[in-house]
Amino acid sequence: MTLSERFVRIGAARLFVHFCVLLIVIIWLIPTLGIFVSAVRDKNQIVVSGWWTAFAGSTRTVAGRVGTADQQKQEGPVYVISGNLLEGQEGRLLTAFGTRIQQPSAYKAGETADLGESLSLQVNEDGTYRFVKSAPFTDDDAGRRVYLAVLTPPEFTLQNYKTVLTSEGIGQSFINSLTVTIPATIIPILIAAFAAYALSWMEFPGRALLIALVVGLIVVPLQMSLIPLLRLYNMVGSAFDVPSKTYPGIWLAHTAFGMPLAIYLLRAYIAGLPREIIESARVDGASDFEIFTRIVLPLSFPALASFAIFQFLWVWNDLLVAMVFLGTDRQHLVLTGALNALLGSRGGNWEILTASAFVTIVIPLLVFFGLQRYLVRGLLAGSVKGG
């Protein structure tokens, strides 16, 4: 293979990789775009059409009635009832109509529908209609219900965001979420960093067993430990006469749940640091604590940042653990719990879900974009060589 052919082959492979990455990004962005568009649409339009039709209007079925028998007028040999079925709905465009709920779009706008018994109905795009009969209308003939397929123009509103942001207790719940998330992110990082260094560069009996235990704990579902851990908290609270559902309690719970993954990620990174640096520091008389604080910790910032992203996102979006260890009272309700309460017991206000989603991701997005440059470096570190 010539040099030029090799360059062509490498270029084609690189283009294929870039295409696949672009495709994955687009696939991930489409749902986000849908949520964003739905968050600013009118509630009635969300019900009847998908977000991809937001800029083209939407069609929904409404019902109306033709006039009564006392409104009929004789026009030559026929009797006519006329009017407008879209009165008060200016700007709407009628596309089809029908006289049965099973077939609300049986006839196109402007078409004359033969209803039998010498009856015919014509409904135009602007909603005007002519109900015609060859004999005088009776009360049974007039006042019929007509179903209309109406095309409404795009309607955008910020009412969904207003409902979410101005709801009572949202501000307090936002502060509660920050109170839970920030310590629950910092505490496991501090503890796991010490443990990762010990498991990487300190020799002691049972180190391999501890590493295997940490890996095994990663796959344990947290739901299995919720009830035993809550009972333990209640026992401790009863013994010392302190409330069990407090912020320190949920900080410790999130710390325990996030510790295995934190130790695993940080150990993979710390074990991959050059051995010469550690040994040189020991030769110079540095203690393990000095090596950790002055050398290992500054060099491990990418791994610390990558875990901080995972832990922050997980704790911020958590609802189950917060409800179990903090309860649902207004003073301790986190943001996810407050937004869930806005939906009502039967989900009657489900249209605010999309706006709520964007409200909740503002802080995580700031954290992610602030630390994302360290994410890949921290995750891939230690994948080639380890201690």
User: Which of 78, 82, 121, 117 has its CA nearest to residue 99?
Assistant: 121
Say what the pLDDT of residue 193 is: 92
pLDDT in tens, 211-254: 888 888 888 888 888 888 888 888 877 777 766 678 888 998 89
Query: Where are the alpha helices (H) located in 241-296, listed in sequence order?
Result: 247-270, 275-283, 288-291
For 66-86, b/e burial (b = at least 16 CB within 10 A) is bbeeeebeeeeeebbbbeebb
What dihedral do alpha carbons 87, 89, 93, 97 form, nearest 10°? -50
Of the pLDDT bands very low, low, confident and very high (cuts 50, 70, 90), residue 180 is very high
Q: Residue 8: pLDDT above 60?
A: no
Q: Residue 387: pLDDT above 70?
A: no
Say what the pLDDT of residue 7 is: 53
Mean pLDDT of the chain: 82
**Token pair for residue 342?**
């806005």
DSSP letter for 351, please.
G
Q: Residue 102: pLDDT above 50?
A: yes
d(CA 2, CA 289): 56
d(CA 256, CA 212): 17
Bridge partners of residue 116, in order along the sequence: 119
User: Which of 226, 228, 217 has its CA nearest to residue 258?
Assistant: 217
User: Which residues, at least 6 apart from 195, have a Cβ–Cβ distance to it below 8 Å?
Assistant: 259, 263, 266, 267
Say what the pLDDT of residue 15 is: 82
pLDDT in tens, 190-222: 999 999 999 988 888 888 898 888 888 888 888
pTM above 0.75, yes or no: no
- 254 close to 188: Cβ distance less than 8 angstroms: yes
Coil vs helix vs strand at 231: helix
